[in-house]
Amino acid sequence: MRLKCPLCGERDRREFHYYGAEDYLHRPEVDAEPAAWDNYLHLRDNPAGMTRDLWYHEAGCAQWLLVTRNTVTHEISAVELVAERAK
Amino acid sequence: MRYSGLKVITEGLFGNKGWKPAWRDPAPKAEYDAIIIGGGGHGLATAFYLAKNHGLTNVAVLEKGYIGSGNIGRNTTIVRANYFLPGNSEFYSHSLKLWEGLEAELNYNVMHSQRGLINLFHSDGQRDAFARRGNAMINQGDDAILLDREGVREHLPYLDFEQTRFPIYGGLLHPRGGSARHDAVAWGYARGADRRGVDLIQNCEVTGIDIENGVVKGVQTSRGAIRAKKVAIIVAGRSSQVAAMAGMRLPIESHVLQAFVTEGLKPVINHVVSFGMGHFYISQSDKGGLVFGGDLDFYASYASRGNLPMVEHVMEAGMTLMPMIGRAKVLRSWGGIMDMSPDGSPIIDKTHVEGLFIDCGWNYGGFKAVPASGWCMAHLMATGESHEVARKFRLNRFATGHLLDEEGTGSQHNLH
């Protein structure tokens, strides 16, 4: 598997560290209810199909990437910089 | 039909014409007392113990594919009870005791082999941690022996003790640990459940769960609707999809774990050996193949195959630990879909829907847990109460902070 980093181009999977689902971008406010934190930290849609998750280009540009990919086929359809994502 | 040595001999004399299918192939009835979604090891064991321990025999096991087609037929078959945390420790201890009586219980040869399991350690700190773990195992009533380097050498003379990046300081020996024949476990439980009247319905995919006013009424399947007052979801890597049919979002992320097997060799590795620092473990099957594996591929996946970097990593770790295996030819590798929970421990619990139960989150340790998981899930379904050795495997423990993080690696699905 190879990921096309927006800054570095297509690179080997071993350069990247997988963190987890896109949910990690939606951190609750500090005073949020425990259920919101449970949702953020633990509960996952875990789709068999298209998903969006966070990868860190550890051995490259050190950017966090938001990857859109298929969990069944491993096909990658988009890689965006988290720093530049549309809010 | 009861199996016995005499039966094997007489069948051998008369052309093996008297063997019958090990279980029936019934059509689904319109209603059952209980439905189990998933004909894997855990589902079959649950059905078996529902019938045997609780007298509930009007039960159906619904399997999308064929019996034993999932992780129960595609794992590395390790059986052990070397857990540390209260909550895990008593559960796996109970499971190992069930393993020890399983063949007599099922009248089926599951080839359970208590050849001993050795976890290697490579530093003073790791030795302390393993000594503590060993004490926890002994306190639980199981067995553990702390070996120094020479002690390990007596058991495993073929390891590379000096040259590795992680010199071997010793190991924790768990003599009652070992392995079993994975398919036979599925087949034994399937046959045992069938003989007690449970319907095993194959090629029957559940497509919906019927719920009215918060109470489960049955399921929709590719072979029609089936009613039941109790429904259990026991589907491992597909837990999130089936639970979503009941409106649930689970604390599960599915990951792929690879395993490998070599050509058949003469007996060379007598134990189960784990090399945690290199993410590698190995045993030799009774057929002679070296069965080994490593860590997850680390990213969420439903592709039942792995990625090459982990193949390379596992091979490197194996060569680091035991260079003698370098000339063995790898026959095949495969990937299984693991239902990873955020703390690495499983869930056996009720859900927010009355009559709907869930058994999932086995990470990559589900095989050894099959007997106790079935035992405790059956207990929960029949009595409505958690079994005493599974009472910490709650679905809501992540929300309440009562995590069972055996490895102490934090609340992230791929770190256990």
Domain boundaries, chain A: 2-85
pTM of the model: 0.96
Across residues B308-331, what is the average pLDDT? 95
CB count within 10 Å of CB B197 equals: 13
B277: which 2 tokens? 């620092």
Q: Which residue has the tokens 């439980």?
A: B189
pLDDT at B416: 86
Q: Which residues contact B317 (CB under 8 A, 6 or more apart)?
A: B275, B278, B279, B280, B294
CA distance A17 to chain B (A): 8
- Tens digit of pLDDT for each residue in B357-413? 999 999 999 999 999 999 999 999 999 999 999 999 999 999 999 999 999 998 899
Nearest to B302 among A19, A35, A72 (CB): A72
Mean pLDDT of B56-69: 97
Per-residue pLDDT reduced to its tens digit, A14-66: 999 999 999 999 999 999 999 999 999 999 999 999 999 999 999 999 999 99
Say if the Cβ atoms of A48 and B298 lie within 8 Å: no
**Residues of A (18-37) whose Cβ lies below 8 Å from B:** 18-21, 34-35
Long-range residue pairs from B83-87, CB within 8 A, at least 24 positions apart, any chain: B83/B136, B83/B137, B83/B406, B84/B132, B84/B133, B84/B136, B84/B137, B84/B406, B85/B345, B85/B404, B85/B405, B85/B406, B86/B392, B87/B345, B87/B391, B87/B392, B87/B393, B87/B404
SS3 assignment, position B240:
helix
Closest C-alpha among B65, B58, B95, B64 to residue B80: B95
Question: Sign of torsion, CA B90 B188 B115 B263?
Answer: negative
Residues of A in contact with B414 (CB under 8 A): 18, 20
Q: If 0-12 CB within 10 Å is exposed, 13-18 middle and 19+ buried, where does residue A82 land?
A: middle
For residue B248, the tally of other CB atoms under 10 A from its CB is 19
Could you tell me whether strands A9-12 and A17-21 are parallel, antiparallel, or unpaired per DSSP bridges?
unpaired
Q: Are residues B412 and A43, on separate chains, in Cβ contact within 8 Å?
A: no
The CATH number of domain A2-85, selected from 3.20.20.70, 3.30.930.10, 3.30.2270.10, 1.10.3720.10: 3.30.2270.10
